[in-house]
């Protein structure tokens, strides 16, 4: 089904995000016939390019990223949508000339989406400038603004940013993008939870021992040194992506899948999370930094050897924390979350550990130590739902082993789509269910702010872990000796 005609305006169109994600995503939507025939894409950049140069750049982007190579027929249709607008977003002239260009309503549809693929410090300036020539006015057509994370760097800065942009935009116009939520497997968590009635009776503190959410990366910080050193793993991943996963796992069934009903339930979870007082930060949060090590047989630098990193930096590249959701369903169940760079394997997963079966039926047999059941949700790169069950081994003895019930998310002949394809399409459709409402952002900052503030003061020492390992040998977060990090699916 095709969408409304619209004009997609991309600020920062010559940058990495547009090159790697946005332009390929829009091209793939065109392949799927999801873009209206009249939809146009305006790229805004400072480089002195013309349309021909921009088209050649787009071809290079798609040669690198298009699934199955470039379809020349679709490419011909796609480049007819493209327009390059030279302008410096710091200068008022950029916006007045853009407004003049967009007055051609025959060429450019008047429904407009503005994608800010730019430095977060420029968000409020660009939005203010767009408002001056009335480019955000919705009296006749819709106007939407897409903002990448991070939305602020702490609670205070997120409130300040919200106050600034809300002078020019209604909340319904703001699409705070978390590309993690566009991943098919993340959305599948909702289907898995609420479309399978056999799970609902077990989905609570009576049957679940604890829940782990892990996002590990093999990559280091690359060329992002100065940016990352001011951000760290807690802000970069835990405050946004992993807390969002927690809300999907822990939320109550929403009244409907409408955006506001879904987001209401997510906010309820965040509001139910037990605050971490300053004196409890050490017991409920842990940070570390990668040291030199080996990945795929190659020696790699430690964080302090990376370009642009001060020698005395204590910025965390690994962060873990323990949270409690103090509501009827989850009270007393610990949620363990961790993220790290330069770890043994790149993967995202949710691991749900069930309580031991109460029966001592096998106490005096070879099967005396029955293992706990696990439900494993692979987000990336392996997308799967896997249940570990205990079964009897063939033979005369009473011995058991673990067997997997596997419900893979994608069949072998089904291609993966990129999260940005879903999200860019949702903006045109006006579906905000996978975007963050401001109160979600605010409550997420309230959860991690005490940790960030405590770490900002303690600048003398940080634990390290060898690159290529599963992180530091740290177990103080766990409530029981029997609990430990689950590293594999």
The catalytic residue positions are 241
Q: Which helix (H) or strand (E) holds 299?
A: strand 298-300
Cα→Cα distances 4→84, 113, 234, 430, 452, Å = 22, 12, 38, 10, 43
- Cβ atoms within 10 Å of 414's Cβ, excluding its own: 10
Angle between helices 259-272 and 438-457 (to 10 degrees): 30
Cα(107)–Cα(100) distance, integer angstroms: 12
Between CA 19 and CA 205 the distance in angstroms is: 45
The C-alpha atoms of residue 231 and residue 315 are separated, in whole angstroms, by: 8
How would you list the strands of the sheet with 400-406, edge to edge?
400-406, 384-392, 374-380, 347-354, 208-216, 334-340, 318-324, 285-291, 463-466
| Greatest CA separation for the chain | 84
Tokens representing residue 468 in the block: 């290529």
> Strand, helix or coil at 329?
coil
For the purposes of burial, counting CB atoms within 10 Å of the CB of 36, is it exposed (0-12), middle (13-18) or buried (19 or more)?
Answer: middle
What 252-256 contacts at long range (C-beta under 8 Å, 24+ apart), as own/partner pairs, is 252/329, 253/194
């Amino acid at each position: 089904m095709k969408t409304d005609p619209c004009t997609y305006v991309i600020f920062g169109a010559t940058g990495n995000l547009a090159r790697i994600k946005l332009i390929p995503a829009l091209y793939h939507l065109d392949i799927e016939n999801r873009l209206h025939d009249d939809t146009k894409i305006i790229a805004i950049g400072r480089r002195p390019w013309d349309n021909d140069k921009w088209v050649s750049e787009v071809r290079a982007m798609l040669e690198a990223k298009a699934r199955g190579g470039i379809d020349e027929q679709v490419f011909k249709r796609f480049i007819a949508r493209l327009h390059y607008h030279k302008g410096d977003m710091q200068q008022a002239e950029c916006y007045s000339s853009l407004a003049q260009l967009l007055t051609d309503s025959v060429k450019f549809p008047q429904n407009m989406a503005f994608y800010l693929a730019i430095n977060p410090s420029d968000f409020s300036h660009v939005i203010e400038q767009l408002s001056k020539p009335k480019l955000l006015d919705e009296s006749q057509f819709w106007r939407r603004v897409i903002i990448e994370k991070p939305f602020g760097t702490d609670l205070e800065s997120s409130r300040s940013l919200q106050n600034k942009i809300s002078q020019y935009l209604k909340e319904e116009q703001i699409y705070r993008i978390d590309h993690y939520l566009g991943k098919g497997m993340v959305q599948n968590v909702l289907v898995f939870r609420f479309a399978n009635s056999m799970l609902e009776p077990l989905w609570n503190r009576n049957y679940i021992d604890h829940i782990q959410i892990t996002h590990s990366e093999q990559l280091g910080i690359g060329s992002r040194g100065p940016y990352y050193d001011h951000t760290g793993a807690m802000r970069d991943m835990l405050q946004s992506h992993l807390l969002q996963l927690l809300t999907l796992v822990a939320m109550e069934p929403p009244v409907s899948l409408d955006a506001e009903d879904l987001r209401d339930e997510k906010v309820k979870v965040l509001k139910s999370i037990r605050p971490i007082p300053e004196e409890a930060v050490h017991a409920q949060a842990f940070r570390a930094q990668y040291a030199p090590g080996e990945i795929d047989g190659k020696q790699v630098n430690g964080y302090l050897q990376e370009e642009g990193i001060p020698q005395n930096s204590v910025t965390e590249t690994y962060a873990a924390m323990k949270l409690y959701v103090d509501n009827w369903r989850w009270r007393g169940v610990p949620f363990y979350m961790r993220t790290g760079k330069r770890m043994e394997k790149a993967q995202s997963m949710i691991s749900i550990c069930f309580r031991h079966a109460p029966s001592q039926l096998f106490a005096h047999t070879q099967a005396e130590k029955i293992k706990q059941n696990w439900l494993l949700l692979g987000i990336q790169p392996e997308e799967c739902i896997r249940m570990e069950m205990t079964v009897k081994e063939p033979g005369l003895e009473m011995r058991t082993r673990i067997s997997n019930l596997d419900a893979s998310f994608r069949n072998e002949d089904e291609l993966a789509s990129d999260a940005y394809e879903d999200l860019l399409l949702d903006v045109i459709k006006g579906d905000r269910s996978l975007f963050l409402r401001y109160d979600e952002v605010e409550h997420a900052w309230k959860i991690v702010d005490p940790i960030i503030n405590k770490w900002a003061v303690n600048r003398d020492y940080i634990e390290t872990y060898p690159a290529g390992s599963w992180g530091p040998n740290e177990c103080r977060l766990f409530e029981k000796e029997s609990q430990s990090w689950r590293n594999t699916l």
